Chains A and B, each alone.
Chain A
Amino acid sequence: MIRHAISDLNGWLAILAIVLSSSAGDVLLSRGMKQIGDLGTLRSKRGLVFVFLLVSRNRYFLLGVACMAISFYSLLFGLSWNDVSLVGPAAASLTFVANAIAAKFFLHERVDRRRWAAALFVAAGVVLMAF
Protein backbone atom coordinates (compact mmCIF):
# COMPACT_ATOMS: atom_id res chain seq x y z
CA MET A 1 0.00 0.00 0.00
CA ILE A 2 2.70 2.50 1.09
CA ARG A 3 4.98 1.25 -1.67
CA HIS A 4 2.20 1.88 -4.19
CA ALA A 5 1.68 5.41 -2.85
CA ILE A 6 5.42 6.17 -3.09
CA SER A 7 5.47 4.83 -6.64
CA ASP A 8 2.50 7.06 -7.55
CA LEU A 9 4.05 10.11 -5.88
CA ASN A 10 7.38 9.59 -7.67
CA GLY A 11 5.55 9.07 -10.96
CA TRP A 12 3.68 12.39 -10.60
CA LEU A 13 6.83 14.19 -9.39
CA ALA A 14 8.57 12.93 -12.54
CA ILE A 15 5.63 14.13 -14.69
CA LEU A 16 5.88 17.58 -13.04
CA ALA A 17 9.65 17.64 -13.67
CA ILE A 18 9.17 16.59 -17.33
CA VAL A 19 6.48 19.24 -17.93
CA LEU A 20 8.49 22.04 -16.29
CA SER A 21 11.85 21.20 -17.87
CA SER A 22 10.48 20.49 -21.32
CA SER A 23 8.41 23.72 -21.35
CA ALA A 24 11.45 25.69 -20.17
CA GLY A 25 13.49 23.99 -22.90
CA ASP A 26 10.95 24.80 -25.62
CA VAL A 27 10.68 28.43 -24.50
CA LEU A 28 14.48 28.83 -24.44
CA LEU A 29 14.92 27.15 -27.84
CA SER A 30 12.17 29.30 -29.33
CA ARG A 31 13.72 32.45 -27.88
CA GLY A 32 17.15 31.49 -29.23
CA MET A 33 15.83 30.78 -32.72
CA LYS A 34 13.83 34.04 -32.83
CA GLN A 35 17.00 35.88 -31.80
CA ILE A 36 18.91 34.30 -34.70
CA GLY A 37 16.19 34.77 -37.34
CA ASP A 38 14.76 32.60 -40.12
CA LEU A 39 17.25 29.73 -40.48
CA GLY A 40 16.10 28.98 -44.05
CA THR A 41 16.84 32.53 -45.23
CA LEU A 42 20.15 32.62 -43.34
CA ARG A 43 21.21 29.28 -44.83
CA SER A 44 20.58 30.42 -48.40
CA LYS A 45 22.45 33.70 -47.75
CA ARG A 46 25.40 32.54 -45.62
CA GLY A 47 25.57 28.74 -45.89
CA LEU A 48 24.89 25.77 -43.62
CA VAL A 49 28.17 25.96 -41.64
CA PHE A 50 27.47 29.59 -40.69
CA VAL A 51 23.98 28.68 -39.47
CA PHE A 52 25.32 25.69 -37.53
CA LEU A 53 27.95 27.84 -35.77
CA LEU A 54 25.44 30.60 -35.06
CA VAL A 55 22.94 28.16 -33.50
CA SER A 56 25.49 26.16 -31.52
CA ARG A 57 26.91 29.35 -29.94
CA ASN A 58 23.55 30.79 -28.92
CA ARG A 59 23.24 30.66 -25.12
CA TYR A 60 19.45 30.28 -25.15
CA PHE A 61 19.86 27.29 -27.48
CA LEU A 62 22.47 25.69 -25.19
CA LEU A 63 20.31 26.27 -22.08
CA GLY A 64 17.29 24.87 -23.97
CA VAL A 65 19.19 21.71 -24.89
CA ALA A 66 20.27 21.33 -21.23
CA CYS A 67 16.61 21.59 -20.14
CA MET A 68 15.65 18.98 -22.75
CA ALA A 69 18.32 16.66 -21.32
CA ILE A 70 16.85 17.14 -17.81
CA SER A 71 13.40 16.39 -19.26
CA PHE A 72 14.70 13.19 -20.87
CA TYR A 73 16.27 11.95 -17.63
CA SER A 74 13.09 12.86 -15.70
CA LEU A 75 11.19 10.71 -18.21
CA LEU A 76 13.55 7.80 -17.58
CA PHE A 77 13.09 8.32 -13.81
CA GLY A 78 9.32 8.44 -14.22
CA LEU A 79 9.27 5.29 -16.34
CA SER A 80 11.23 3.45 -13.66
CA TRP A 81 8.50 4.25 -11.10
CA ASN A 82 5.32 4.16 -13.12
CA ASP A 83 3.79 2.80 -16.32
CA VAL A 84 4.59 4.28 -19.69
CA SER A 85 0.83 4.46 -20.30
CA LEU A 86 0.49 7.04 -17.49
CA VAL A 87 3.77 8.96 -17.67
CA GLY A 88 3.91 9.32 -21.49
CA PRO A 89 0.46 10.78 -22.26
CA ALA A 90 0.17 12.77 -18.99
CA ALA A 91 3.53 14.48 -19.54
CA ALA A 92 2.93 15.06 -23.28
CA SER A 93 -0.54 16.53 -22.86
CA LEU A 94 0.27 18.74 -19.84
CA THR A 95 3.32 20.04 -21.74
CA PHE A 96 1.04 21.43 -24.49
CA VAL A 97 -0.92 23.46 -21.92
CA ALA A 98 2.19 24.52 -19.94
CA ASN A 99 3.85 25.63 -23.19
CA ALA A 100 0.89 27.82 -24.12
CA ILE A 101 1.05 29.53 -20.68
CA ALA A 102 4.85 29.87 -20.79
CA ALA A 103 4.81 31.23 -24.37
CA LYS A 104 2.24 33.87 -23.38
CA PHE A 105 4.18 35.12 -20.34
CA PHE A 106 7.83 34.58 -21.28
CA LEU A 107 7.80 34.92 -25.07
CA HIS A 108 4.90 37.42 -25.17
CA GLU A 109 3.24 35.45 -27.95
CA ARG A 110 -0.31 36.39 -28.81
CA VAL A 111 -2.12 33.29 -27.53
CA ASP A 112 -5.66 33.99 -28.72
CA ARG A 113 -8.75 31.80 -28.26
CA ARG A 114 -7.87 29.82 -31.37
CA ARG A 115 -4.45 28.88 -29.95
CA TRP A 116 -5.85 28.03 -26.50
CA ALA A 117 -8.43 25.81 -28.17
CA ALA A 118 -5.71 24.15 -30.27
CA ALA A 119 -3.53 23.46 -27.19
CA LEU A 120 -6.49 22.02 -25.21
CA PHE A 121 -7.81 19.91 -28.11
CA VAL A 122 -4.37 18.47 -28.86
CA ALA A 123 -3.72 17.84 -25.12
CA ALA A 124 -7.05 15.98 -24.76
CA GLY A 125 -6.46 14.12 -28.03
CA VAL A 126 -3.00 12.93 -26.95
CA VAL A 127 -4.48 11.49 -23.73
CA LEU A 128 -7.25 9.65 -25.61
CA MET A 129 -4.79 8.28 -28.17
CA ALA A 130 -2.96 6.44 -25.41
CA PHE A 131 -5.94 4.08 -24.96
Chain B
Amino acid sequence: MTFRKYLVLAGVSVFAPVGDSLLSYGMKQIGNISLTHFSELLLAITNPWVALGILFLLGFFASYMTALSFADLTYVLPASSMGYVLLALIARFALHENISLLRWLGILLVSTGVGFVTSGPELTRRPPRQRRNDGEVAMEHS
Protein backbone atom coordinates (compact mmCIF):
# COMPACT_ATOMS: atom_id res chain seq x y z
CA MET B 1 0.00 0.00 0.00
CA THR B 2 1.36 3.38 -1.01
CA PHE B 3 0.55 6.75 0.54
CA ARG B 4 -1.64 7.58 -2.49
CA LYS B 5 -3.75 4.47 -1.91
CA TYR B 6 -4.25 5.34 1.76
CA LEU B 7 -5.33 8.83 0.64
CA VAL B 8 -7.90 7.29 -1.73
CA LEU B 9 -9.30 5.14 1.13
CA ALA B 10 -9.40 8.21 3.38
CA GLY B 11 -11.33 9.96 0.59
CA VAL B 12 -13.91 7.14 0.52
CA SER B 13 -14.26 7.35 4.33
CA VAL B 14 -14.51 11.14 4.57
CA PHE B 15 -16.43 12.22 1.45
CA ALA B 16 -19.49 9.98 2.08
CA PRO B 17 -20.38 11.02 5.67
CA VAL B 18 -19.54 14.70 5.08
CA GLY B 19 -21.57 14.70 1.83
CA ASP B 20 -24.55 13.04 3.56
CA SER B 21 -24.38 15.53 6.44
CA LEU B 22 -24.25 18.51 4.04
CA LEU B 23 -27.25 17.15 2.10
CA SER B 24 -29.16 16.59 5.34
CA TYR B 25 -28.37 20.14 6.58
CA GLY B 26 -29.39 21.67 3.24
CA MET B 27 -32.62 19.67 2.95
CA LYS B 28 -33.64 20.67 6.48
CA GLN B 29 -33.21 24.34 5.46
CA ILE B 30 -35.46 23.75 2.45
CA GLY B 31 -38.13 21.94 4.48
CA ASN B 32 -40.58 19.22 3.51
CA ILE B 33 -41.18 18.66 -0.18
CA SER B 34 -44.51 17.11 -1.12
CA LEU B 35 -44.90 14.87 -4.17
CA THR B 36 -47.37 17.36 -5.66
CA HIS B 37 -44.58 19.97 -5.79
CA PHE B 38 -41.99 17.68 -7.30
CA SER B 39 -40.23 20.54 -9.14
CA GLU B 40 -39.06 21.86 -5.76
CA LEU B 41 -36.85 18.79 -5.54
CA LEU B 42 -35.02 19.87 -8.71
CA LEU B 43 -34.61 23.40 -7.31
CA ALA B 44 -33.09 21.90 -4.15
CA ILE B 45 -29.69 21.82 -5.85
CA THR B 46 -29.66 25.62 -5.89
CA ASN B 47 -29.20 25.47 -2.11
CA PRO B 48 -25.43 25.87 -1.55
CA TRP B 49 -25.31 23.14 1.14
CA VAL B 50 -27.11 20.65 -1.12
CA ALA B 51 -24.83 21.56 -4.06
CA LEU B 52 -21.72 21.14 -1.85
CA GLY B 53 -23.11 17.82 -0.57
CA ILE B 54 -23.56 16.56 -4.14
CA LEU B 55 -19.96 17.61 -4.95
CA PHE B 56 -18.71 15.63 -1.93
CA LEU B 57 -20.76 12.57 -2.96
CA LEU B 58 -19.27 12.78 -6.47
CA GLY B 59 -15.85 12.86 -4.78
CA PHE B 60 -16.89 9.78 -2.79
CA PHE B 61 -17.92 7.90 -5.93
CA ALA B 62 -14.66 8.77 -7.73
CA SER B 63 -12.54 7.64 -4.74
CA TYR B 64 -14.65 4.49 -4.30
CA MET B 65 -14.15 3.50 -7.95
CA THR B 66 -10.40 4.23 -7.68
CA ALA B 67 -10.15 2.15 -4.48
CA LEU B 68 -11.97 -0.79 -6.12
CA SER B 69 -9.53 -0.60 -9.04
CA PHE B 70 -6.56 -1.49 -6.83
CA ALA B 71 -8.02 -3.34 -3.81
CA ASP B 72 -10.47 -6.15 -3.10
CA LEU B 73 -14.11 -5.35 -2.30
CA THR B 74 -13.75 -7.17 1.04
CA TYR B 75 -10.85 -4.82 1.86
CA VAL B 76 -12.35 -1.52 0.67
CA LEU B 77 -15.75 -1.86 2.39
CA PRO B 78 -14.59 -2.54 5.97
CA ALA B 79 -11.59 -0.19 5.62
CA SER B 80 -13.78 2.69 4.48
CA SER B 81 -16.30 2.16 7.29
CA MET B 82 -14.09 4.44 9.42
CA GLY B 83 -16.46 7.08 8.03
CA TYR B 84 -19.13 5.92 10.52
CA VAL B 85 -16.67 6.48 13.36
CA LEU B 86 -15.70 9.87 11.96
CA LEU B 87 -19.35 10.92 11.77
CA ALA B 88 -19.92 9.92 15.41
CA LEU B 89 -16.81 11.81 16.53
CA ILE B 90 -17.93 14.93 14.61
CA ALA B 91 -21.34 14.60 16.30
CA ARG B 92 -19.69 14.33 19.72
CA PHE B 93 -16.92 16.93 19.55
CA ALA B 94 -18.12 19.46 16.92
CA LEU B 95 -21.90 19.31 17.41
CA HIS B 96 -21.68 18.38 21.15
CA GLU B 97 -24.26 15.59 20.77
CA ASN B 98 -24.53 12.94 23.44
CA ILE B 99 -23.12 9.53 22.51
CA SER B 100 -24.53 6.51 24.33
CA LEU B 101 -22.42 3.70 25.74
CA LEU B 102 -23.74 1.31 23.06
CA ARG B 103 -22.66 3.75 20.37
CA TRP B 104 -19.14 3.96 21.85
CA LEU B 105 -19.09 0.14 21.81
CA GLY B 106 -20.15 0.26 18.14
CA ILE B 107 -17.28 2.68 17.41
CA LEU B 108 -14.89 0.26 19.11
CA LEU B 109 -16.19 -2.73 17.08
CA VAL B 110 -15.99 -0.86 13.75
CA SER B 111 -12.45 0.35 14.55
CA THR B 112 -11.40 -3.19 15.49
CA GLY B 113 -12.84 -4.50 12.20
CA VAL B 114 -10.94 -1.83 10.27
CA GLY B 115 -7.77 -2.78 12.16
CA PHE B 116 -8.23 -6.45 11.21
CA VAL B 117 -8.67 -5.87 7.51
CA THR B 118 -6.01 -3.19 7.05
CA SER B 119 -3.37 -5.38 8.67
CA GLY B 120 -3.68 -7.83 5.75
CA PRO B 121 -2.96 -7.57 1.99
CA GLU B 122 -5.32 -5.34 0.00
CA LEU B 123 -5.51 -7.48 -3.14
CA THR B 124 -6.02 -11.20 -3.75
CA ARG B 125 -2.93 -12.43 -5.56
CA ARG B 126 -3.71 -13.84 -9.01
CA PRO B 127 -1.58 -15.90 -11.40
CA PRO B 128 0.72 -13.54 -13.39
CA ARG B 129 -1.01 -14.35 -16.71
CA GLN B 130 -3.98 -12.15 -15.79
CA ARG B 131 -3.03 -8.86 -17.35
CA ARG B 132 -4.87 -5.59 -17.13
CA ASN B 133 -5.63 -2.82 -19.59
CA ASP B 134 -2.65 -0.76 -18.49
CA GLY B 135 -0.41 -3.73 -19.17
CA GLU B 136 0.56 -4.21 -15.56
CA VAL B 137 0.47 -7.54 -13.83
CA ALA B 138 -2.07 -7.81 -11.00
CA MET B 139 0.59 -9.06 -8.58
CA GLU B 140 2.61 -5.89 -8.94
CA HIS B 141 -0.08 -3.86 -7.18
CA SER B 142 0.32 -5.39 -3.78
- Give the distance in Å from the alpha carbon of A110 to the alpha carbon of B68 in the complex: 15
Residue of A nearest to B125 (CB): A110
Q: Is the interface of A mostly helix, strand, loop or mixed?
A: helix
Chain B proximity of A103: nearest CB distance (Å): 5
In the bound complex, do residue B77 and residue A96 qualify as a contact, i.e. CB atoms below 8 Å apart? yes
Across-interface contacts of A122 in B (CB, < 8 A): 77-78, 81, 109-110, 113-114
Considering only residues 94-142 of chain B, those with a C-beta below 8 Å from chain A are: 100, 102-103, 105-114, 116-117, 119-120, 124-125, 132-134, 136, 141
Q: What per-residue 1/0 map shows which CB atoms of B31-66 lie under 8 Å from chain A?
A: 000000000000000000000000000000000111
Within 8 A of B (CB), among A108-127: 108-112, 114-115, 117-122, 124-127
B74's partner among A38, A99, A126 (CB-CB below 8 A) is A99
Count of chain B residues near A, Cβ 8 A:
43
Chain A contact residue count (CB 8 A cutoff): 45
Query: Can you name the residue of chain A whose Cβ is closest to the Cβ of B75?
Result: A115
Give A residues with C-beta under 8 Å from B.
26-27, 29-30, 33-42, 45, 54-55, 61, 96, 99-100, 103-104, 107-112, 114-115, 117-122, 124-131
